[in-house]
Structure 1
Amino acid sequence: MAKKELKTNAVRILERNKIDYELINYECDEFIDGIHTAEATGAPIEQSFKTLVMKGKSNAYYVFVIPIADEVDLKAAARSVKEKSVEMIHVKDLTSITGYVRGGCSPLGMKKSFPTVIDSSAEKFDEIYISGGRIGTSIKLNPQDLAKVVRATFYDIIR
């Protein structure tokens, strides 16, 4: 019997919105960082993005999608969502807030819809790579399509 393809919430959302994407599965049993994920999938590092979840001074949560090799500029990230400041949530809180685990957190399909900002560097690519919603799965898609589905804005948020 053929092995059934496991669909994540991220994939279901893309299909429901009729967004073109490519699913890339790779062997991985535990968290690895974005650089190693890109190496495992053959994705160009500069087109590979990670998902960060932060909490603002107002106690609201925000999602930031940035290149895997870069660090977020906290001041720019706060400005992008009109907060005085933002800080990373604790890893132990990630699953309860988003429904995802570290290394499998996608900007698509979180438990709730949070304001999302994609670093503007994504706009120079026709395709970017993001987490597919579980460890061992990446999604290649157009950054404008991603922004449309998650109602994201583009902003310079990296150092």
Structure 2
Amino acid sequence: MDRDFIIQIVSDNLKILRKENCYTQDKMAEIVGVTKKTIIQVEKGRALADWTTTIAICALFRESKLLRKHFGGDPIEIIELTVQDVTIRPQEKTLGGHIMWKNIDEYKGFKLQRNLISKHFRILDEENYRLFSTFDAEVAQEMWKDIEKTI
């Protein structure tokens, strides 16, 4: 995924997100920090949200089932991966990949998985905490080999 794709998803779904949360265009503009005219333009498909607005919407509506469905999980994680290429740090506890994830490999409770929608990779520890994420298959395999060697 890249910025343009993320912007497109958010722009295409802005009206639905707004209505699901019972916000008027005025309130949505206030919450996101843009003008009402901008909200109207994006909702009518005449313009796309800019990157900053897209990040704000993803952060504010992080738990949205709609965004999670389109991104295959946490929209903020996808934004972090788009900007940083790789994240290596303990993250939130996951459900273990029962939905939207394919196990590529398992070793002593650790899992290397690939998201079925966004196609990014992650490594979970034995308690299903996300340790690592990337879109790069080679980097994911290298990290997986390091885990197999050290555990």
| Length-normalised TM-score, structure 1 | 0.27
Rg (Cα) greater in structure: 2
RCO greater where, 1 or 2, for CA within 8 Å and sep 6 or more? Answer: 1
Normalised by the size of structure 2, how large is the TM-score? 0.27
